[in-house]
Amino acid sequence: MASKRVKTGVPGLDEMLQGGLPEGHIVLLMGSFGTGKTTLALQFLMEGLRSGENCIFISLEEDKNSVIKNSDSFGWDLSGPISKKKLGLFKLEPSDAKTTITRIKSELPKFVKSFGAKRVVIDSISLLNMMFTKDSERRANLFNLCQLLRSAGATSILTAEVKDENPRSSRDGLAEYTVDGVLLLQSDENRDSGEVQLTLRVLKMRRTSHSRRVKPYSISDGGVVVHAGAEIF
Ligand SMILES: Nc1ncnc2c1ncn2[C@@H]1O[C@H](COP(=O)(O)OP(=O)(O)OP(=O)(O)O)[C@@H](O)[C@H]1O
Ligand SMILES: [Mg+2]
């Protein structure tokens, strides 16, 4: 039986995914800088807030005010849901590895459960992974984190940077195997026109059929829109 869908709130993307992300999935949202990872992740939380779900946004990149301001520029109010305790917005300091690791390991599990979050975003998993010095620790942390998110019953988006030499792989090449789904955002320059085109593709989505086509998307005042009807090739 088809699993229940969680709408991303991104026009076009939900169509590509037969209605949305399968409920409970952990999805890696990969892309190079400026491709709209943070925007898409926030849009996914806004969709949840609109339908009354509690949400958590954990930022390792931008500080709280910057996240709030960016959202404002799309007309998305975060301050209201934060003050009503519908949205938990946290900043973890990548420069303070010791505190960050402690908080991820001990506070996050309690928090995700007590908050009853249906949607969780971690922006970015690449920065979180950098906290650990050994690959084995990175793997173990990622595994535990995914277990925590699954046991909490949340549907989650982890953003990730890509490798310069291989933009189809995340920087540390770890998470794509652990997660249930992988979305790739790319920015390609058309050699003839010199125009930059943003494209999205679904590289992996367990337990569902999905479009494998490359689709153009744009970022405008209302957020990310995938042009699901348009063809690239
Ligand atoms: N209010 C807005 N209206 C239209 N486009 C916007 C708006 N705000 C941002 N953008 C576009 O979105 C891009 C950045 O999106 P975003 O910050 O989500 O990317 P990112 O993938 O998270 O980048 P990074 O890797 O640097 O964190 C900007 O470069 C800009 O092109
Ligand atoms: Mg970002």
pTM for this model (two decimals): 0.95
> Which structural domain range is residue 45 located in?
5-226
Q: Measuring from atom 26 of ligand 1, which residue has the nearest CA?
A: 33
Does any domain span residue 53?
yes
| CA torsion, ordered 57, 139, 93, 34, to nearest 10 deg | -60
Q: How far is the CA of 38 from the centre of ligand 2 (A)?
A: 4
For ligand 1, mutation pick of 219, 221, 225 (most atoms within 8 Å of CB): 219
pLDDT tens, position by position, for the chain (233 residues)? 568 999 999 999 999 999 999 999 999 999 999 999 999 999 999 999 999 999 999 999 999 999 999 999 999 999 999 999 999 999 999 888 889 888 888 888 888 888 899 999 999 999 999 999 999 999 999 999 999 999 989 999 999 999 999 989 999 899 999 999 999 999 988 888 888 999 999 999 998 888 888 999 999 999 999 998 887 75
Burial class from Cβ neighbours inside 10 Å (0-12, 13-18, 19+) for residue 219 reads middle
Does any domain span residue 231?
no
Residue 191 pLDDT: 84
Name the residue among 213, 151, 210 with its Cα closest to residue 181: 210
Does any domain span residue 232?
no
User: How many structural domains compose the chain?
Assistant: 1
Does any domain span residue 21?
yes
For ligand 1, mutation pick of 28, 29, 38, 199 (most atoms within 8 Å of CB): 38
Does any domain span residue 233?
no
List, as one string, the DSSP characters of 9-39: --TTHHHHTTTSEETT-EEEEEE-TTSSHHH
8 A C-beta contact, residue 3 and residue 207: yes
Does any domain span residue 30?
yes
CATH number for the domain that contains residue 159: 3.40.50.300
Does any domain span residue 207?
yes
